[in-house]
Structure 1
Amino acid sequence: PGSWQDSYGLFGRRVNESAPSGPVMSEAEARMGKLERQAIGELGLEPGASKADVKARYHELLKRFHPDMNAGDRATETKLQNVIKAYKSLKKAGYA
């Protein structure tokens, strides 16, 4: 073997290459942008959820947090607004 090192990985593996650090993203997560991942999380779903799952969860949360269903409790209003905003961003991105 020669005395040179392929430190940039031009000819294969790097000399000091190690396993990736941090959590590994699924294929579905990798295709989603940061905003979409946050929105899917706001709805309590996992990346890769189907459009039908997203819509069903959205309607479920609408009913749960709607002021009429909570005796006018304004504490759930913020959560409702976040759910609506998350669904709109997912719909705009084509996930709903």
Structure 2
Amino acid sequence: MRQPPKDRPNARFHGRVENAADRCAHPGCEAPGEFRAPPPDEGRPGDRPPEWRWLCLDHVREFNAGYNFFSGMSAEQIEAAQRPYAGWDRETRAFAHSGADRPPRWADFADPLDAIGARFRRAAPKQRADGKPLSGENRRDLDTLGLEADADRKALRQRYTELVRRYHPDRNGGDRSHEGRLQQVIDAYQRLRKAPAFA
């Protein structure tokens, strides 16, 4: 380990500032004040930030040894501060599930240029014209089959038949390289035909 120069015996200490103050702020100490410390609590001004004082190494060590974060706290307050999940028990805003925050309550805003609403319409997934709900899984299955959100039961059946013919080994001279894709198509169809939008 590298040793500090002989003319700077305290150079290795973190927070040391050379020539910060002529003398340590501790009464009667003639050593240079090279370490910053807050003033005693009784000397703090009301709403202003504290004025720092400068102490020598020995007196800043003494100050640090006497510091107690839990001073003035009750046993319950100390226990609450030491819990590993302290601060996480406060209620926070829920995360959105659709990729965008919930839109604001429109009664609270005047939006003549539609600057706020346009963002949410772009981020929101396309809804079906008939109003029937589509889950995230339903939307992924429609993507697998290459169908739009407004597809009906007839379009679903036609697309399924078309894709099965395209990927089935019997229609491809025994080529089994598309079996994984075929299984995805079958699974997507089986889920979609039972979904409320296609029932």
The equivalent residue for 1:25 is 125
Go from structure 1 to structure 2 and tell me whether the alpha carbon gap of 1:24 and 1:71 turns closer, same or farther (over 3 Å shift): same
Conservation of the 8 A alpha-carbon contact between 2:153 and 2:193: no
Q: Which string of whole-angstrom CA distances, capped at 9 and with x for unpartnered residues, describes residues 58-79 of structure 1?
A: 0111111101111222211001
Structure 1: segments with no counterpart, 5+ residues: 1-8
Q: What is the count of residue pairs matched by the alignment? A: 88
The equivalent residue for 1:81 is 183
Identical positions, percent: 33
Match of 1:63, SS? Answer: helix
* Code of the aligned partner of 1:42: T
Structure 2: segments with no counterpart, 5+ residues: 1-103
1:13 aligns with 2:111: no
Match of 1:62, SS? Answer: helix
Go from structure 1 to structure 2 and tell me whether the alpha carbon gap of 1:80 and 1:10 turns closer, same or farther (over 3 Å shift): closer
Deviation at 1:85, TM superposition (A): 0.3
Distance 1:84 1:11 in 2: 43
Deviation at 1:28, TM superposition (A): 1.3
Larger Rg: 2
TM norm structure 1: 0.75
* Code of the aligned partner of 1:44: G
TM norm structure 2: 0.39
Deviation at 1:14, TM superposition (A): 4.3
Of Structure 1 and Structure 2, which has the larger fraction of its residues in helix? 1
1:53 aligns with 2:53: no
Match of 1:47, SS? Answer: coil
Go from structure 1 to structure 2 and tell me whether the alpha carbon gap of 1:36 and 1:10 turns closer, same or farther (over 3 Å shift): closer
Q: What's the Cα RMSD here? A: 2.7
The equivalent residue for 1:6 is none
